[in-house]
Amino acid sequence: MAADTADGVPSGVNGVAERVLQLKPRVVRQHRPFAYAPDLANSEVPVDRSLSDRFCATPWETLDVRFRGVVGACCPGYLPKPIGKLPEDTVESAWNSEAAQEIRASILDGSFRHCRAAVCPLIAGDSLPKRDEITDPYQRDIIDRGLVRAERPPRFYNLSYDESCNLSCPSCRTRQVSVTSGPEYEQLGKIQSRIVDAALAHPHDEPVEFNVTGSGDPFGSRIFREFLTSVDGRSWPSARFHFQTNGVLFTRRYWQRIAGIRNNIGRVFVSIDAATPETYALTRRGGHWGQLWENMRLIDDLRREGIVRRFQVFYVVQTANYREMPGLIHLLEQFPAVDWVNFSLISNWATFSDEEFRTHAIWRSDHPQFDDFLRVLRDPALASKRIFWGNVLPYRERALASAPSIEA
């Protein structure tokens, strides 16, 4: 086992966690504000296989509420077509709008024409289920009857309308954002009220999930803190709240403040993007390495106690950190309750010029360090069963195919 440093920050460890997990991770939107539907250009690998036999339930399950209240049926990077706008629309009118039905029809006809196949981790990672293997009654009925109108309300709300964050990571923003008052904050309140009115107006025991947040940090946002601290989970026992966070503010103090939903916690996703404090200072600008790992221990404990139902780590792969991918797996040996590590390729969310982005896009075959990227992807540590490769999978496969015998 690994040794810890004096302040509790993990040092290097030996070996790889090999615990086999039975449940695949939910793919959720990562911290990516400022741009609604950017030209991501984060893969050179085309998806040329037919999707006519595949199914994606996301447009029948998910309401993604983005910057300025734009509503979608999935992450805008994967499916950019909007279906409405809050607070001008209601949740109900956006949910079965003409645009929403067009998206669902594209899934049912097998074209997936509104999706960015090379970017979506489920499509690029070949993880979409085959439609003839679907057994969920609701999804089975959708397929068999060809339903483009959703017959039940959203089950999954991705709350990404506030960009406030305690960090200013270069991969998603050029400056720190904190909206705490004024007209912009009032508008956020109106958007949030639409969601609360649709999903939590009255006590109920229907399953509903809230992911907070794909646009900043749930604890770095005043509007999201107010939402999370105002809910008494006893009124909605089947509700689940997922936290998508950089982890720095997930302290014991904030944990006490959300005591009302303590029994309603679902998944916790922590974005780290580094395995050393030096790289962390570059990729997670404004973060605190020591506080991060102290909070990781808290989340790990909560996962082992069953209070947190899933614990995942996000890692945006880029030139600055690709060499530390194996190191992250080693570090996480000290956190056995981590269920999954999600690797994803860096995207350009209007934060870089085209020239700048090419220097960060390690996955480009014309990048001067591309061959070294493939070498790292063959590292034995990356055989861990805890890894979900997403849109990095084609490069992992290419790396292994180019070296049949794994390097020692």
pLDDT of res. 27: 45
pLDDT of 405 reads 55
Instruction: Lay out the sheet containing 265-271: strands in order across.
Output: 84-85, 70-72, 62-65, 156-159, 208-212, 239-245, 265-271, 310-317, 340-345, 387-388
The reported pTM is: 0.87
Q: How far apart are CA 278 and CA 280, in angstroms?
A: 5
* pLDDT given for residue 125 in this prediction: 84
CB 340 within 8 A of CB 313: yes
Tokens of 35: 């741009």
Sort strands 208-212 and 156-159 into parallel, antiparallel or unpaired. Answer: parallel
The alpha carbon of residue 283 and the mean position of all alpha carbons in its chain are separated, in whole angstroms, by: 17
**What is the DSSP annotation of 226-262?**
HHHHH--GGGSTTEEEEEEE-STT--HHHHHHTGGGG
Identify which of 207, 223, 251 has the alpha carbon closest to the alpha carbon of residue 67. 223
Q: Greater confidence, 77 or 186?
A: 186
Render pLDDT for 325-356 as a digit per residue (tens, 0 to 9): 999 999 999 999 999 999 999 988 888 999 99
Confidence band for 119, pLDDT divided at 50, 70 and 90: confident
Q: Name the residue among 75, 74, 69, 71 with its Cα closest to residue 59.
A: 74
- What mean pLDDT comes out for the span 168-190? 96
Tens of pLDDT, residues 235-292 = 999 999 999 999 999 999 999 999 999 999 999 999 999 999 999 999 999 999 999 9
Q: Which residues are paired to 341 by β-bridges?
A: 313, 387
Task: Read off the pLDDT of residues 360-375 as tens digits, 9 standing for 90 and up.
Answer: 999 999 999 999 999 9
At 9 the pLDDT is 44
Q: Tell me, what's the pLDDT at 46?
A: 65
Angle of the 182-199 helix axis to the 222-230 helix axis, nearest 10: 30
